């Protein structure tokens, strides 16, 4: 019986040992050209104009807000910055995933087994062997129980795989492009917050001008009432000044409503709590821009715009991805190895190892490489077109900003002169009315001229500062340029 068990155990254990030492099919598989998804500029612009995540849901006491404070809050809470940060993490994850394809894979396993096998169930019948010296041998139909122990470590490494290496390089360039896109998102946030801040300043200036007109209309009404009471003016003069006062009050109400809505938009853009009261500390002044020509500005923009650099990086990534597709036809080499101890138990085991090297040569892949190459060529053509469009758009943005800047500067000069003349006319009209040589028609017309001149001056100042903000955005490094153009430290 001892001899019978030994023979059967030797057969089964030998087959089990051979099976345990044969590693499963592993190693790098052929990769296709990687086409990384890239965030579009339109999505970032939409996020920049959509708003920000509120820092709190409960309004705090009123705060004083400078342009620097507003930009800093927008940078921390605006959706475009959060979206670009998430895109950057995704790109880093893709790059790490591509790099992992080039690094070795190390595994460890521990296996133990305890079995008993019925050979009759597998089709083996009892076999009687010839007797020898009166001793007979019978092959058993049931063997076991038997067990084995296997502790093993394995390694798989791609030695030569050009396609995977180029895919990794493409993912690195794409990650750089996303980083540059994050810089462009930052410029967009600064430009959007600056524009929102200027909107509030302009709305506040219009409301102040309308409030001053109401005060002036009240003074004229009182003057007309006094003259009518003294019998020096007709009732129509009082009625006319009352109409003018009501008109200015309506204008003031509309301007105050517009100011409140502009402040809500700015608060939402920079992440203030809903209903948070605040005041602006900066003012809208006229500061002419000098020592910068259109050609100089275009050169600065082409050298400093993050979106142009990102588009160029996208082209390089697409070129690398196309070369990775071409490398799918190249042979690959890999190595697989394992070492471990195997036996009936930890105390009765012996070391074994396997070392396998392989070279794979693709001969026919059903046109997959040609299809991948066609997709890579299409992606590359699109990236090149986007780069050229971005370059052309930057040129157009700079030229348009300069045209707006020059036009607004002329409008500011004309509006100031017109305002001074309108104020002088109003003073003369009120003096003539007080002297009894004119009626309130002349005064009302002069008041309307002053109101229109004040609104024109506010609009011109806003247009000039908005043009400088647009130029700062067109040049790139928007925060630094806005500080320079607006005269901020």
Question: Could you write out the DSSP letters of every residue in 110-144?
Answer: EEEEEEEEEGGGGTPPPEEEEEETTEEEEE-SEEE
d(CA 58, CA 401): 39
Domains in the chain, number: 1
Reported as a single tens digit per residue, the pLDDT across 417-453 is 999 999 899 899 888 888 877 777 888 888 888 888 9
Element (H, E) at 34: none
The pLDDT of residue 134: 63
The pLDDT of residue 24: 38
Domain with 134 in it: 2-485
Would you say residue 80 has pLDDT above 70? yes
Mean pLDDT of 16-41: 38
Beta bridge partner(s), residue 150: 111, 342
d(CA 173, CA 320): 9
d(CA 307, CA 477): 11
The pLDDT of residue 131: 65
**What's CA 406's distance to the chain center, in Å?**
33
Q: What is the DSSP string of 368-412?
A: HHHHHHHHHHHHHHHHHHHHHHHHHHHHHHHHHHHHHHHHHHHHH
d(CA 49, CA 333): 51
**HSE-CB of 207 using CA atoms within 13 angstroms:** 16
The pLDDT of residue 331: 93
- Do residues 469 and 482 touch, judged by C-beta distance below 8 A? yes
Q: What is the DSSP string of 61-76?
A: S-EEE-HHHHHHHHHH
Sheet holding 348-360, edge to edge: 105-118, 142-160, 332-345, 348-360
**How does the average pLDDT of the chain come out, rounded?**
82
Mean pLDDT of 206-228: 87
CA angle, 155 then 160 then 165, to 5°: 100
User: Parallel, antiparallel, or unpaired: how do β-strands 278-280 and 63-65 relate?
Assistant: parallel
- Smallest Cα–Cα separation from 393: which of 318, 473, 326, 332? 473
The pLDDT of residue 394: 93
Query: Using 50, 70 and 90 to split pLDDT, how confident is the model at 489?
Result: low
User: Three-class SS of residue 361?
Assistant: coil
Predicted TM-score (pTM) of this structure: 0.74
d(CA 31, CA 325): 9
Would you say residue 157 has pLDDT above 80? yes
The pLDDT of residue 414: 94
The pLDDT of residue 14: 37
- Do residues 470 and 191 touch, judged by C-beta distance below 8 A? yes
Reported as a single tens digit per residue, the pLDDT across 315-374 is 999 999 999 998 988 999 999 999 999 988 888 888 999 999 999 998 888 888 889 899
Q: Identify the residue whose tokens are 């305002």.
A: 419
Helix %, strand %, coil % of the chain (to 5): 65, 15, 20
d(CA 147, CA 13): 8
Beta bridge partner(s), residue 341: 151, 351
The pLDDT of residue 17: 36
Would you say residue 26 has pLDDT above 50? no
- Smallest Cα–Cα separation from 353: which of 366, 334, 340? 340
Which CATH number is 406's domain given?
Answer: 1.20.1600.10
d(CA 387, CA 60): 46
Both tokens assigned to 162: 């050009």
Would you say residue 32 has pLDDT above 80? no
Reported as a single tens digit per residue, the pLDDT across 392-403 is 999 999 999 999
Reported as a single tens digit per residue, the pLDDT across 299-327 is 999 998 988 999 999 999 999 999 999 89
Peptide linkage before 145 cis (omega within 30 of 0):
yes
The pLDDT of residue 18: 35
d(CA 237, CA 229): 12
Task: Flag the least confident range among 18-27, 60-69, 237-246, 322-331.
Answer: 18-27
Reported as a single tens digit per residue, the pLDDT across 225-282 is 888 888 877 888 889 889 988 998 999 999 999 999 999 989 988 888 888 899 999 8
- Do residues 139 and 127 touch, judged by C-beta distance below 8 A? yes
List the helix and strand counts (H, then E) for the chain: 11, 8
User: Could you tell me the CA-to-CA distances from 51 to 48, 80, 141, 293, 416 in Å, in that order?
Assistant: 6, 9, 79, 34, 35
The pLDDT of residue 46: 57
CA angle, 343 then 345 then 346, to 5°: 100
Both tokens assigned to 228: 């009518």
């Amino acid at each position: 019986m001892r001899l019978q068990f030994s023979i059967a155990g030797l057969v089964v254990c030998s087959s089990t040992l051979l099976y345990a030492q044969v590693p499963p099919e592993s190693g790098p598989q052929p990769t296709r050209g990687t086409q990384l998804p890239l965030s579009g500029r339109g999505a970032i612009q939409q996020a920049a104009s959509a708003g920000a995540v509120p820092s709190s849901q409960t309004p705090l006491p009123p705060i004083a807000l400078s342009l620097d404070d507003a930009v800093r809050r927008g940078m921390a809470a605006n959706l475009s910055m959060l979206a670009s940060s998430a895109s950057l993490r995704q790109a880093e994850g893709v790059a790490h995933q591509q790099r992992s394809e080039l690094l070795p894979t190390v595994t460890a396993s521990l296996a133990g087994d305890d079995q008993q096998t019925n050979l009759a169930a597998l089709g083996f019948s009892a076999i009687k062997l010839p007797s020898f010296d009166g001793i007979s041998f019978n092959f058993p139909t049931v063997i076991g129980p038997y067990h084995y122990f296997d502790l093993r470590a394995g390694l798989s490494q791609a030695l030569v795989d050009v396609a995977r290496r180029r895919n990794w390089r493409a993912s690195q360039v794409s990650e750089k492009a996303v980083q540059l896109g994050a810089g462009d998102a930052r410029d967009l946030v600064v430009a959007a917050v600056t524009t929102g801040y200027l909107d509030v300043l302009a709305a506040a200036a219009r409301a102040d001008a309308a409030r001053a007109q109401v005060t002036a209309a009240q003074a004229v009404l009182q003057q007309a009432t006094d003259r009518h009471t003294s019998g020096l003016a007709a009732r129509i003069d009082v009625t006319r000044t009352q109409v003018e006062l009501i008109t200015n009050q309506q204008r003031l109400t509309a301007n105050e409503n517009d100011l409140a809505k502009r402040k809500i938009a700015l608060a939402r853009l920079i992440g203030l709590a809903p209903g948070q009261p605040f005041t602006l500390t900066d003012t809208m002044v006229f500061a002419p821009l000098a020592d910068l020509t259109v050609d100089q500005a275009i050169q600065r923009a082409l050298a400093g715009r993050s979106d142009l650099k990102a588009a160029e990086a996208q082209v390089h990534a697409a070129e690398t991805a196309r070369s990775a597709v071409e490398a799918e036809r190249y042979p690959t080499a890999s190595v697989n190895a394992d070492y471990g101890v195997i036996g009936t138990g930890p105390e009765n085991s012996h070391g074994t190892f396997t070392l396998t090297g392989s070279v794979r040569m693709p001969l026919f892949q059903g046109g997959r490489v040609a299809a991948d190459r066609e997709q890579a060529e299409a992606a590359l053509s699109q990236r090149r077109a986007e780069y050229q469009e971005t370059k052309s758009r930057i040129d157009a943005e700079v030229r348009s900003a300069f045209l707006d800047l020059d036009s607004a500067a002329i409008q500011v000069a004309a509006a100031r002169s017109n305002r001074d003349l309108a104020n002088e006319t109003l003073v003369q009209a009120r003096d003539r009315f007080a002297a009894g040589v004119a009626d309130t028609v002349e005064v009302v017309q002069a008041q309307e001229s002053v109101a229109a001149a004040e609104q024109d001056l506010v609009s011109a100042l806003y247009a000039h500062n908005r043009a400088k903000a647009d130029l700062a955005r067109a040049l790139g490094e928007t925060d630094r340029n806005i500080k320079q153009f607006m005269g901020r430290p």
